[in-house]
Amino acid sequence: MKGVDSLKEKNTTNSPIASQNYSDNHKSNNSSNKRKTKNISGTRREKPPVQIIPLGGLEEIGKNMTVIRCDGQAVIVDCGMAFPDDDLLGVDAVIPDFSYLGEIENEIQGLVLTHGHEDHIGGIPFLLHEYSIPIYGTALTIGLVENKLKEDGSSSLSLLHTVESGSTFKLGKFSIEMIRVNHSIPDSSALAITTPGGVIIHTGDFKIDYTPVFEKTADLNRLGEYGKNGVLALLCDSTNAERPGNSVSESHVGASFESLFSRAEGKRVIIATFSSNVQRIQQIIDFAENHNRKIAVSGRSMVGTVELAQRLGYLHYKEKTLISMDEISRYRMEDLVIITTGSQGEPMSALSRMAAGTHRQVTITDKDFIIISATPIPGNEKTVNTVINSLLKLGSDVIYESMYEVHASGHACQNEIKLMLSLVKPKFFMPVHGEYKHLVKNAETAYELGYDRKHVILAEIGDVVSVTSRSASITDTVESGRVMVDGIGVGDVGIAVLRDRQHLASDGMVVVVCSIDENNGNLISGPDIISRGFVYMKESEELIDEAKRTAAAVLSRFSGKNKRRRNELKSALREEIGRLLYQRTKRNPMVLTVVMEI
Amino acid sequence: MKGVDSLKEKNTTNSPIASQNYSDNHKSNNSSNKRKTKNISGTRREKPPVQIIPLGGLEEIGKNMTVIRCDGQAVIVDCGMAFPDDDLLGVDAVIPDFSYLGEIENEIQGLVLTHGHEDHIGGIPFLLHEYSIPIYGTALTIGLVENKLKEDGSSSLSLLHTVESGSTFKLGKFSIEMIRVNHSIPDSSALAITTPGGVIIHTGDFKIDYTPVFEKTADLNRLGEYGKNGVLALLCDSTNAERPGNSVSESHVGASFESLFSRAEGKRVIIATFSSNVQRIQQIIDFAENHNRKIAVSGRSMVGTVELAQRLGYLHYKEKTLISMDEISRYRMEDLVIITTGSQGEPMSALSRMAAGTHRQVTITDKDFIIISATPIPGNEKTVNTVINSLLKLGSDVIYESMYEVHASGHACQNEIKLMLSLVKPKFFMPVHGEYKHLVKNAETAYELGYDRKHVILAEIGDVVSVTSRSASITDTVESGRVMVDGIGVGDVGIAVLRDRQHLASDGMVVVVCSIDENNGNLISGPDIISRGFVYMKESEELIDEAKRTAAAVLSRFSGKNKRRRNELKSALREEIGRLLYQRTKRNPMVLTVVMEI
């Protein structure tokens, strides 16, 4: 770690709590305060402002990443990826634009991870291609990152540091406490980042579960202590801010499972869920063991996470409970539970292969009882429905979201956000993680508690939000945006390429080819026409012939013309062929012209 | 109408109810019955079976169409279209395969429409391109079809016949009663089709609304009478069969509007809803008039439907209430209500243009109060969210589904389906209109009421379901499927074209062009490389150069070879260029090769 001692020099207590002065400030009901700040040594000076620079996760779902900068040093919170929207044709993943990090490279003390979901860690391999930054997180998070880096063939494993939930560690002038919160993956943390300018709390993804399974309730007391001592700004998960009330407890899902396991008697149970939802998997394992069933695990990421979680002590099962997929044929259907990936209908996932009848070890019949224990992420509804329909047609029972409580969201609803705000009592409140509508709803939740618009920060990615005890304002913007990953290409698919893909996708393309004499422009060979994705060629011979005649007519117009005039030949061909095809079909294929001069 | 008298000859009463014998049959608790059927003239003979042939609407949402065939005659119920799934790249609409109608063309007595939604009438223009079939429906339905045919430039307007809700009319040997049901468009009907083989009731799309607005509750009494007298089969809407309980009443939405109009005081109100939801539009008009606001209508389909519905007497407003969009600038914001299309986030709709700042007459500010009074159809969530986010960023209030009851579904939930079943008491129950999972849930609803699997028909499109008083079975299948409409092409976009579009969409394409001497295969010109949608060419010069070198190497290998061997040239070029590009980018662009022999 670099420069871990500087904070200690300023604050002789071990508490990572912001200075008394700011806390006074807060107690005076957020009134503006002109008194000078007093530092430990007794001399008066202004505290440095804290800059909060979101590089992802605002006005979008995914690729969460935030830079916290103060007094010439910076820490990064999370480095996620996003799944591409439907309009990003052929794009595999979207990651934040890291350009800004280049400007502050020397200031960066480390990257701290709130938890191990892809939208918080998925960008790390790409980040480490460019920068060497030490990374901190709880054991499961670091384990998942390690798997990811090994797959990437990365040599940066030494940058990974495991810290304990509830512990405090130092990064340069910053002190960071990992505060336990509940979420749909174990060991999730809110971060209390004590900077020379005040305390920033980032909730990460969180919910508050009073009856969690295999873990404790979010550390409300610690959050309350920070609140009592003064918090400059709270960055708060907005994902479920549209929902009133409280999220459903993970233990509630257990009650559903109990009755479903009874209904499934005599049948094989297949449960699809997120591989990262280790608490859910532990519940399934416990029910399986209670019902004397063996468990097999299908799907690469599910196998990997179960192995990792068990090795790190997050998952517990009897030695003989787990069998391999190749062994399932040796057991009776009613003695089995299969835990599988594919709860989002992902086309190549294990559940999709079962539904399509192409899974190597599993053939679905009316002896199967299938539970999809996850809510479709917006945009995935159709693929999930396709899988459900196929499984039903194979005769199996399928239990899915709209029928039973077989999933509980991992994100705080309005009451939990209000509780977080009431405990932490931040001077400034900044909604993060969500589309604009989620940020707005989260802001409105704060307004309900009496916050005014000056103390609620609605920012965009790339904004530099400067916060002092007196005010918060956007003082600058930095380079930010989305970088598209396609294959091994990072950032080489841009707007122009995507526009072409959209054009090709909607109407296909037509290539007009000919060769002409370079001296006089006379036709030597062709014109030929090739098309793909436009019309079915064999059934449209007439149209293609007509296009050839049109091309020949254009070519003969240019025949004998000098070379300069022939520059217009290609655009004339493109225009006239395009016009003809549109007239005949009301479609606009991409028209490419290849004129070889010989 | 053709042959309207045949039924009368058999049944001397005016009641369109099935023969007493079948009804006895039903009363004997569905027990199999070997007694011979007695017809009116006293001689014993078997009744002819009724064939139900769904051509669309099963295992899918949309393009609803069913043929009912009996004793050498047939009627068609509905002729809808479906919106293409995301994987049908570039496809504008999907309609049923009409091939089977060609086989029974002489038998077809008419097409009867349950209501005027696109998924029930959208296929009609395409149907009339091939067949001349008289069409029957209530006034609004026929009005909407007429508009559609006029747009299509059709000369078939004389085929349209308006029938009254609640009336009975004859088509050949069939007698058809239009039974009033509730739905999200006025004058929706269930059809009671009395055939020589028994009564078939088709619910169309329905809900049962005890407190509808501007119309009456579904005609429960008439449905009950049919049930008392005996119904052979009930074809029942499955859209909401997953939902327990009852659907929300349309009048409930009014209560939401009341409080929203109060909240909107001092602001312009903009409400987006389906143009066909005339009841909703009437409610909005009434609230506007009560609050002394003028109404303007934006969006082509909204303007068209409001005009049509007012002309036909479905919409009522004071003469001065309605103003044109061009007049809105003459009024204060707080005196206006704009009713608009775009509730599904359709990219070119009026609301999307307002959100994008490109609407000619409307600029959104914080003086706008926008209500999206519709639920996103599955698959539209993302586009709707995009519009909501943009409108919020412009400072307006936006009220959307997840926050208030500003929409009520038009489809029956489980309790309403149970009521329908309990009134109609059909011998056989056939779920229609829905994905397979909806059909299964609808079937389960019948099982709950004591129906067994022999009396519930889960069919696929193209199945010929033969129903007699004794049994229902699938006796045959006919040609059926989906026909894709792209531009003016109907059916010319098939699997091969779509596969190409998907390939082009995901990785773009590369064209390798060269000309060679036809005698010896020596290179004359090229190789050149053109790409679109693959990589950004300027930044990938190196890769393109490498591909050219690879192409040149392949060409020189084939140089001097005889013509026969050169047949392999193109596939060798395609393979080696493809392999190179995949190695360098992990992408698989479509590789086309053009080798001109000169």
Which residues does A554 contact at the CB level (< 8 Å), separation at least 6?
Answer: A569, A572, A573, A576
Which B-chain residues 225-264 have CB contacts (< 8 A) with chain A? 242-243
Which residues does A294 contact at the CB level (< 8 Å), separation at least 6?
Answer: A288, A320, A321, A322, A323, A328, A331, A335, A336, A337
Closest residue by Cα to residue A235 from A197, A187, A185, A199: A199
Write the burial class of residue A311 (CB in 10 Å: 0-12 exposed, 13-18 middle, 19+ buried).
Answer: exposed
Cα–Cα distance, B324 to B318 (Å, whole number):
14
Active-site choice (B209, B237, B463, B486)? B237
Interchain CB contact of B20 with A (< 8 Å): no
Peptide bond into A376 cis (omega under 30): no
Which B-chain residues 333-352 have CB contacts (< 8 A) with chain A? none
Q: Return the residue in A501, A502, A591 with the most chain B beta carbons within 10 A, the one to mutate for interface testing.
A: A501
User: CA angle, A547 as apex, A544 and A548 as ends, to 5°?
Assistant: 90
User: CA angle, A173 as apex, A168 and A177 as ends, to 5°?
Assistant: 20
Interchain CB contact of B508 with A (< 8 Å): yes
pLDDT in the model for residue A375: 85
Is B504 a residue whose pLDDT tops 80?
A: yes
pLDDT in the model for residue A347: 86
Interchain CB contact of B381 with A (< 8 Å): yes
Tens-digit pLDDT profile for residues A271-329: 999 999 999 999 999 999 999 999 999 999 999 999 999 999 999 999 899 999 999 99
pLDDT category at B563 given cuts 50, 70, 90 is: low
A472 to chain B nearest CA, in Å?
A: 20
Contact B53, B464 (CB under 8 A): yes
A382 to chain B nearest CA, in Å?
A: 6
- Chain B residues inside the 8 Å CB shell of A515: 515, 525, 596, 598
Is B413 a residue whose pLDDT tops 70?
A: yes
Closest residue in B to A507 (Cα–Cα): B90
For B488, which of A392, A440, A585 is closest by C-beta distance?
A585
Contact B329, B335 (CB under 8 A): no
Q: Return the residue in B509, B512, B514, B574 with the most chain A beta carbons within 10 A, the one to mutate for interface testing.
A: B509
Cα–Cα distance, B10 to A299 (Å, whole number):
64
pLDDT in the model for residue A481: 93
A135 to chain B nearest CA, in Å?
A: 29
pLDDT in the model for residue B191: 98
Q: Is residue B63 left, alpha or beta, with left meaning phi > 0 and alpha meaning psi from -120 to 50? A: left
pLDDT in the model for residue B405: 62
What is the set of active-site residues of A?
237, 411
- A596 and B509 within 8 Å at the Cβ level: the answer is no
pLDDT in the model for residue A155: 86
pLDDT in the model for residue A566: 67
B61 to chain A nearest CA, in Å?
A: 11
- Chain B residues inside the 8 Å CB shell of A574: none
Which residues does A433 contact at the CB level (< 8 Å), separation at least 6?
Answer: A57, A58, A61, A64, A205, A237, A238, A239
B533-555 average pLDDT score:
87
Which residues does A423 contact at the CB level (< 8 Å), separation at least 6?
Answer: A220, A223, A224, A227
Is B434 a residue whose pLDDT tops 80?
A: yes
pLDDT in the model for residue B414: 95
Write the burial class of residue A39 (CB in 10 Å: 0-12 exposed, 13-18 middle, 19+ buried).
Answer: middle
Tens-digit pLDDT profile for residues B12-63: 333 333 333 333 333 333 333 334 444 444 455 789 999 999 999 999 999 9
Show the low-confidence residues of chain A (pLDDT under 50).
1-42
B311-332 average pLDDT score:
95
pLDDT in the model for residue B52: 98
Q: What is the reported pTM?
A: 0.84
